[in-house]
Amino acid sequence: MGQETVQMRQIAREVQGRAAHMALRMPISWVHIVAGQPVVVDGRTLESRTQWFLQLLARSGQQKLHTLGVARGRSEFDLFMAVLGGRSEPVGEIVDRTIPGPAGRLRVRLYRPAGAVARLLPTLLFFHGGGFVIGSLEGYDLVCRYLTAHTGCAVVAVDYRLAPEHKFPAAIDDGVAAFRWLAAEGANFGVDPARIVVAGDSAGATIAAVMAQEVRGAAQAPCLQWLIYPATDLAEQLPSHTSCGEGFLLTQADMEWFRAQYLADLGQAADPRASPLRAADLSGLPPALVFTAGFDPLRDEGRAYADRMAQSNVKTYHREFDSLIHGFVGMRGALPAAARAMDDMVATLRHELARLGH
């Protein structure tokens, strides 16, 4: 990489940092003035600080994700998460280890909450987002620290294989292997195998949803699904794909690029392991918490999956954060509304674990 390119990326890093700071700190009365007329789509009004934040990103000259290529897309995404993710929450312990996977060793990262006294902890088996192409344990470190510090659960984050080097269903196979390993071996390092929550955001939520289907009926199954703006149908064009497909960070072109990297051919989109909404039967799944964002191309997919589970007598809670955009899990440090949404999701998770007797 040339010196000029390095300098340009450093400038971009500083601009993103300033944008995040301004979006976070500017008085809301000023935001209402500088952001202009409210943005309304499908009867939803974009949160004003988020609107201003998107304008700042556009003015910084940030390129569309699908134009960056795989290697740069990965580095830029991890940088984005680091800049916007907020402060690093204190945790008790972080341990990296490798476990048996379907194609060799699979890396996982275990986070334990500070001050935990229980011998066996409830645990989030967490899969990061990134369209099955980008995202990493390092990029999601701030998110996982937050979840560990605020849920009272241990977190086991999975470094599943990414496309295009590893096409579908590699990520799914890794997810299933990680769950089976955790259920069998987790008690050896403080994980309660009866209290495993499968969780993730975006593509990670897709992996969690498919994994719950794959281990349905097993002697040891997840106690809960926690799905944050999941992609549930890679084949269908739903209304939010178009109405929210441009101008709200994740674009329709980005989604098409991710899909092309992930699938060997478009015919695979009909496979329920790629599109969990297309499963013939959703009965017998663990209870589910499904969270979506109002200004997200994936909004309608997530709601449709929640509806189908409820119709299949799966206890399902769905909430739409109607003023937020896709990816808000990684924007806690820049957008107060994203931070509040994170707090609300965690409170719901804790309530549901308590209700289940966990």
Q: Is the model's pLDDT at 157 over the cut of 60?
A: yes
DSSP notation for 115-162: T---SSEEEEEEE--STTTS--TTTTHHHHHHHHHHHSSEEEEE----
Q: Are 248 and 54 a contacting pair, CB within 8 Å?
A: yes
- Mean pLDDT over 241-252 rounds to 95
Of the three residues 84, 105, 124, the one that is the final residue of a domain is: 84
Active site residue 240: no
Query: Above 90 in pLDDT, residue 56?
Result: no
Active-site residue, selected from the candidate residues 66, 128, 241, 326 = 326
Question: At what angle are helices 3-25 and 70-84 packed, to 10 degrees?
Answer: 30
Q: How confident is the model at residue 135 (pLDDT cuts 50, 70, 90)?
A: very high
**Domain shared by 310 and 200, yes or no:** yes
Domain boundary among 51, 84, 117: 84
Q: Given pLDDT bands bounded at 50, 70 and 90, which one contains residue 51?
A: very high
**Domain boundary residue, one of 84, 117, 140:** 84
21 and 151 part of one domain: no
Is 60 exceeded by the pLDDT of residue 20? no
Residue 328 has what DSSP assignment?
G
| The one catalytic residue among 192, 201, 296, 300 | 296
The mean-pLDDT minimum among 58-72, 101-115, 167-181 falls in 58-72
Q: What pLDDT shows up at residue 12? A: 54
Strands 44-45 and 40-41: antiparallel
By DSSP bridging, strand 288-295 and strand 40-41 are unpaired
Mean pLDDT of 82-101: 94
**8 A C-beta contact, residue 301 and residue 226:** no
pLDDT of residue 118: 76
Do residues 80 and 62 make contact, with C-beta atoms less than 8 angstroms apart?
no
More confident residue, 356 or 299: 299
Band the pLDDT of 93: cuts 50, 70, 90: very high
**Strands 104-112 and 93-101, bridge-based pairing:** antiparallel
130: left (phi over 0), alpha (psi -120 to 50) or beta: left
Other C-beta atoms closer than 10 Å to the C-beta of 36 total 11
Mean pLDDT of the chain: 91
- 127 and 80 in a single domain? The answer is no
At 34, the amino acid letter reads V
The backbone torsions φ and ψ at residue 323, rounded to the nearest 5 degrees and listed phi first, read -105, 5
For residue 202, pLDDT over 90 is answered with yes
pLDDT in tens, 306-354: 999 999 999 999 999 999 999 999 999 889 999 999 999 999 999 999 9
> Do both 50 and 113 map to the same domain?
no
* DSSP-derived secondary structure for 303-321: HHHHHHHHHTT--EEEEEE
- In angstroms, the CA 179 to CA 160 distance is 12
Q: Are residues 160 and 266 in the same domain?
A: yes
Which has more confidence, 69 or 65? 69
Per-residue pLDDT at 95: 96
Please confirm, yes or no, whether 296 is among the known catalytic residues.
yes
pLDDT for the residue 117:
76
Residue in this structure with the two tokens 């051919």, named with its chain if needed = 265
Range of the structural domain that residue 331 is part of: 93-355
33 pLDDT higher than 80: no
Helices (H), 200-335: 203-214, 239-243, 252-262, 299-311
On whether both 201 and 270 belong to a single domain, the answer is: yes
- Does one domain contain both 98 and 25? no
Do 238 and 145 reside in the same domain of the chain? Answer: yes
Q: Is the pLDDT of residue 216 over 80?
A: yes
Average pLDDT over residues 80-84: 91
Confidence of residue 1 (pLDDT cuts 50, 70, 90): very low
Q: Which of 2-11, 103-112, 198-207, 236-245 has the lowest mean pLDDT?
A: 2-11
**9/67 same-domain check:** yes
Task: Please indicate, yes or no, whether residues 134 and 158 belong to a single structural domain of this protein.
Answer: yes
* Given the residues 48, 159, 202, 241, the one annotated as active site: 202
pLDDT in the model for residue 100: 94
**What is the predicted pLDDT for the residue at 355?**
86
**Catalytic-residue membership of 159:** no
284 and 347 fall within a common domain = yes
C-alpha 76: how far from chain center? 17
The total number of structural domains that make up the chain: 2
